[in-house]
Amino acid sequence: MHFHSAMINSLLPILVAAAPSSAGPQTPSAAAPATVAAVTVPRVPAGHPRVYVRASDLPAIKAKLSRDEFKAAWSQVQAATSHPDYGPFASAFVYLVTGDKAAGRRAIENGLTALAKSDEGRTVSQPMHWAACVYDWCYDLLTDTEKQSFIKEFQRLAASHGPYYPARLDTHAVVGHDTEGWLLTGQLPIGVAIYDESPVMYDAAARLFARKFVPVRNFYYPAHAHHQGDSYSSRMVHDLLASWLFRRMGAGDVLSREQRYVPYETIYNLRPDGRQFRHGDTYDEGGRAATRLLIQMLAAAYYDDPYMLWMADSADLFNRPTPLERIFELLFRRPSAPQRPIGELPLTKFFGPPIGTMIARTGWERGLDSRAAVVRMHIGGNFFGNHQRKDWGNFQVYYRGPLAISSGIYEGAQSGYNSDHWRDYYHQTVAHNSLLIFDPTEKWSTTANPPRTTAASAGPSVGPTIPSIWRR
């Protein structure tokens, strides 16, 4: 591989920057995963509201509504009460903070309708998540019949997908859809909301969370990075909302406080052009998904972190927040919370076991004309699977454009999840700028053995011959 001399000269300061330094603000070094103590299942407090907010929190939340820094968020939430997707959630919040009974009734009726039509619970925008808030925040407006209708739909949805209902202890807790919203922002907040009428959901879900989900997360949090890559690190939103749920219930920190630094991977993974270095299955090519903003805000508010708050407020980095992000901003963000620019952070960060990545840069200047050079070096550690790729020994380089990259496509019918392209190229080492060592006796766990070539490597499928490029 040949580099232009200007590129080499630009990279030299990176090697110097990679040396340990005590100058400037520091984030703790990623440490080896520690043994995790047993977690006690938090008790559900009496009374409502209790999903993300308690009665004692309401005076401070209501006081935010008249402050200039929250006016845009409050106006957007008020305008969203008739939104086709977020209307019931926004209406429930309006009732919570104003007592507007018409808004509360609208939240209940439209929320129940949306919940009955839903068959999904992976993401925080689904009715399975926010309908728990509707039930809890509008509790005093619910009739007994409506309570039972909500509970019936909650149980139907929970039973339709892992961890099922009641939540089973043999559920996947590391990767897969079970680790997304179905438990963390599904059955847990639902169980809290309906606990007085039906405690089964919370008791089983909280037991699963404490026994399996907590140890897994506390194992990889010390790396300060997520194992599912630049896009599927979006799953952190569920972890952070679970942390907020239990904190507001009075349980304190149920997950390791190393959680604070996992979103720092997004900060360090940022290229000068505003995009993210690609690793794992990348679907958010521009790196601008509003979920990234929400993760930064939730973590910044929970841990009083000024750098993540600066990221959350950087309008040029993320898409405009939706009413959902705005509601959580009003619930959790502290008024006049301090911010610090990421340019104050060290130029190098090591993301230790079990991830094994270092990102080093010559500066934090952003823009297409930026002279900052950035290198991402990944030696690897534990293999978690699913959206994680076989890219050990990978390095990527950016200087006034991407110079060494991870390749492949993750979209469309021909190159999406579990396609030939995904199995035979995108998830293989050949796609990721890593050292290749040819083993003619290697057995491939792919569609063909050895794998077929795909459009991204050498054109359409040509049979079971290993492409010559893979032998180099």
Across residues 169-173, what is the average pLDDT?
95
Task: Choose, from 83, 164, 172, 177, the residue flagged as catalytic.
Answer: 177
Helix, strand, coil in percent for the chain, rounding step 5:
45, 5, 50
Question: Is the pLDDT assigned to residue 23 strictly greater than 50?
Answer: no
Across residues 312-335, what is the average pLDDT?
96
What would you measure as the largest C-alpha separation in the chain, in angstroms?
74
Return the pLDDT at 467: 41
The rounded distance, in Å, linking the Cα atoms of 461 and 210 is 47
Question: Is the pLDDT assigned to residue 416 strictly greater than 70?
Answer: yes
**Confidence class for position 287, pLDDT limits 50, 70, 90:** confident
> Edge-to-edge strands of the sheet including 348-351?
348-351, 357-361, 373-378, 394-399, 402-404
Closest CA to 456 of 419, 431, 429: 431
Torsion sign (Cα): 205, 207, 210, 211:
negative
Return the pLDDT at 442: 76
For residue range 394-414, list pLDDT tens digits in order: 999 999 999 999 999 898 888
Q: Specify the higher pLDDT residue, 27 or 193.
A: 193
For residue range 118-140, list pLDDT tens digits in order: 999 999 999 999 999 999 999 99
Q: What is the pTM of this model?
A: 0.89
The rounded distance, in Å, linking the Cα atoms of 44 and 2 is 61
Terminal alpha carbon distance of the chain = 13
Q: Are 350 and 376 in contact (CB under 8 A)?
A: no
**DSSP category for residue 35:** P
Task: Give phi and psi for 349, each to the nearest 5.
Answer: -140, 135
Residues 6 or more apart whose CB falls under 8 angstroms from that of 75 comprise none
Active site includes 232?
Answer: yes
Task: Choose, from 227, 238, 387, 421, the residue flagged as catalytic.
Answer: 387
The rounded distance, in Å, linking the Cα atoms of 186 and 108 is 18
**Confidence class for position 300, pLDDT limits 50, 70, 90:** very high
Q: Specify the higher pLDDT residue, 468 or 226.
A: 226
Which of 21-30, 326-335, 373-382 is predicted least confidently? Answer: 21-30
**Confidence class for position 453, pLDDT limits 50, 70, 90:** very low
Written as six digits, the tokens of 24 are 């400037």
Where residue 52 falls (left for φ over 0; alpha for ψ -120 to 50; beta otherwise) is left
Which of 185-199, 338-352, 435-449 is predicted least confidently? Answer: 435-449
What is the number of other CB atoms lying within 10 angstroms of the CB of residue 468?
Answer: 8
Return the pLDDT at 12: 42
Question: Is the pLDDT assigned to residue 39 strictly greater than 80?
Answer: no
Looking at CATH, the fold of the domain delimited by 55-344 is given as Glycosyltransferase (1.50.10)
Across residues 3-32, what is the average pLDDT?
47
The rounded distance, in Å, linking the Cα atoms of 54 and 407 is 47
Domain positions in the chain: 55-344
Across residues 226-235, what is the average pLDDT?
95
Task: Give phi and psi for 300, each to the nearest 5.
Answer: -60, -45
- The CA-based angle 137-325-28, given to 5 degrees, is 110
Question: Is the pLDDT assigned to residue 297 strictly greater than 80?
Answer: yes
The rounded distance, in Å, linking the Cα atoms of 213 and 180 is 11
Return the pLDDT at 164: 98
Question: Is the pLDDT assigned to residue 26 strictly greater than 80?
Answer: no
Across residues 39-60, what is the average pLDDT?
95
Across residues 240-250, what is the average pLDDT?
98
Return the pLDDT at 471: 36
Task: Choose, from 139, 202, 232, 302, the residue flagged as catalytic.
Answer: 232
**Confidence class for position 435, pLDDT limits 50, 70, 90:** confident
Question: Is the pLDDT assigned to residue 460 strictly greater than 70?
Answer: no
Which of 8-22, 41-55, 103-117 is predicted least confidently? Answer: 8-22
Residues 6 or more apart whose CB falls under 8 angstroms from that of 242 comprise 184, 185, 188, 209, 254, 255
